Homo-oligomer: A and B are copies of this chain.
Amino acid sequence: MTIDHYENHHREANGGSALNVAQGVGDQPVVNPAFVRRKRPQLSVEQFVEGILARDIAILSQAITLVESNNPAHYATAQKIIEGCLPHAGRSVRIGITGVPGAGKSTFIEAVGGMVAGQGHRLAVLAIDPSSERSGGSILGDKTRMESISTDPRIYIRPSPSAGSLGGVARKTRETVVLCEAAGYDVVFIETVGVGQSETAVHSMVDMFMLLQISGAGDELQGIKRGIMEMADAIVITKAEGDNIVRAELAKRQFENALMLFPTPDSGWRPRVFTSSAYAGTGLAEVWAGVGEFLDFVRAGGYYAANRNRQNQYWMRETIDDALRSDFYHDPEIEALLPRYREQVMADRMSSFVAAHELLDKYYKK
């Protein structure tokens, strides 16, 4: 089993208690047949780490489930496993792939993924989609998708963690990357839907960011969120096949012209535009060669390492900020007062700054 549907499904059905981790929980949960059938031996943190390093997919999946769990005991165990894996992580190429629904992300990942695995790489495909609860299903979660690579032992596909705050979902994916790298995956794709806030989060955990666009500029592009195009290191015009080839080439030139108006990003790399067809199998090798050129470029210039350092610090800072905000806004007194202050501010009866400082005074007085 390479696509991790069962794990995911099972975890949801059992409210996160599907795993028996060695953590001293005495009570046995209500047992259902599915649970008994796949019951696993209790693993220690060391066994988890050893299993992951030995590339045991079942153990990797169990560890990721711990990372994704909302149970504090699971989370604590997960953190220890991550610590154990960290010295063996960091050696993959992390690529973010975004595009609106319909841009052809699945077929593109399937086609490029198959090619990359064929070249001897081991590929992990992850996703961030905090909206999955609303949209009724996480990306990568559809069993019928990516059929051609889902049984490939060199490829590990893990659907987006179940819905939660963006910060939470992003953290889980960021930590899952560490586990996958320790398990020997040297290429990691992180898919996102291109319509929300998740792109900034993904951009902050990858080495290269790729935007997929369907051929034909105009209405088709409306879905993509502002600011995303300026993050892209490469734009891939998809579905460049048959009657679409001319439109795709036109779109390519339009994007190239548009990108010329953008300033050079910090990496110094000028974003490139490709056309491809997952169906016809064209353009994929060129895209993958472009990835290689990008990596050579940023590695030579020192940007690659600097960017990873910056990302590590970014996630430390973000986690701290999240926690500070959460403590403030969940303070009972603040919760009680906030609506009134917010109303005053919105009605321009109180300045934003005075409102903020009065609330802060009450918070810190305790």
Q: Which A residues fall within an 8 A CB radius of B? A: 79, 82-83, 86-87, 89-90, 171, 174-175, 178, 217-218, 221-227, 229-230, 254-255, 257-258, 260-265, 309, 312-317, 319-321, 323-325, 327-328, 341-342, 345-346, 348-357, 359-360, 364
User: What is the total number of copies of this protein in its complex?
Assistant: 2
Distance A16 CA – B345 CA, assembled complex (angstroms) = 29
For residue A342, give the distance in angstroms from its CB to the closest CB of chain B.
7
Whether A352 pairs with B319 at a CB distance below 8 angstroms is yes
Q: Cβ of A255: which chain B residues have Cβ within 8 Å of it?
A: 261
Contact of A313 among B222, B317, B352 (CB under 8 A): B352
Closest A-B pairs by Cβ, 10 of them: A319-B356, A315-B352, A258-B258, A316-B352, A324-B324, A226-B230, A320-B356, A312-B345, A309-B346, A258-B261
Q: Give Cα A146–Cα B154 distance, bound, in whole angstroms.
A: 66
Do A353 and B254 touch across chains, with their CB atoms under 8 A apart? no
Shortest CB–CB separation between residue A337 and chain B, in angstroms?
A: 12
In the bound complex, residues from chain B placing their C-beta under 8 Å from that of A349 are: 86-87
Say how far A260's CB is from chain B's closest CB, in angstroms.
6
Max chain B CB contacts within 10 Å: which of A229, A262, A351? A351
A90 CA to B315 CA, complexed, in Å: 38
CA distance in complex: A255, B260 (Å) = 10
**Contacting A264 at CB < 8 Å: which of B222, B348, B360?**
B222
A263 to B99, CA, bound (A): 13
Q: Which of B86, B355, B357 contacts A351 (CB 8 A)?
A: B86
A82 to B316 Cα, complex, angstroms: 37
Contact across chains for B316 and A342 when beta carbons are under 8 A apart: yes
The answer to whether B226 touches A345 (Cβ under 8 A) is no
B348 touches A86 (CB 8 A): yes
Interface pairs (27), CB distance under 8 Å? A79-B354, A82-B353, A83-B354, A86-B348, A174-B353, A175-B353, A217-B261, A222-B263, A225-B263, A226-B230, A226-B265, A227-B227, A255-B261, A312-B348, A313-B346, A315-B352, A315-B356, A316-B341, A316-B355, A319-B353, A319-B356, A320-B328, A320-B360, A323-B357, A323-B360, A324-B325, A324-B360
In the complex, A349 Cα to B309 Cα: how many Å?
12
Q: Which residue of B lies closest to A264 (CB)?
A: B222
Are B313 and A345 in contact (CB-based, < 8 A)?
yes
Chain B residues near A261: list those with CB within 8 A.
217, 221, 229, 254-255, 258
Residues of B within 8 A of A357 (CB): 319, 323
A316/B345 in contact, CB under 8 A: yes
- B316 engages A229 (CB within 8 Å): no
How far is it, in angstroms, between the C-alpha of A83 and the C-alpha of B357 when the chains are bound? 14
Closest chain-B Cβ to A47's Cβ sits at a distance in Å of 20
Closest beta carbon of chain B to A180's beta carbon, Å: 14
- Give CA–CA (A264, B226) in the complex, Å: 8
How far does the Cβ of A25 sit from chain B's closest Cβ, in whole Å?
Answer: 22
- Which residues does chain B contribute within 8 Å of A263, judged by CB atoms? 221-226
- Residues of B with C-beta under 8 A to A345: 312-313, 316
- Inter-chain CA distance A114–B356, complex, in Å, is 38
A352 to B317, CA, bound (A): 8
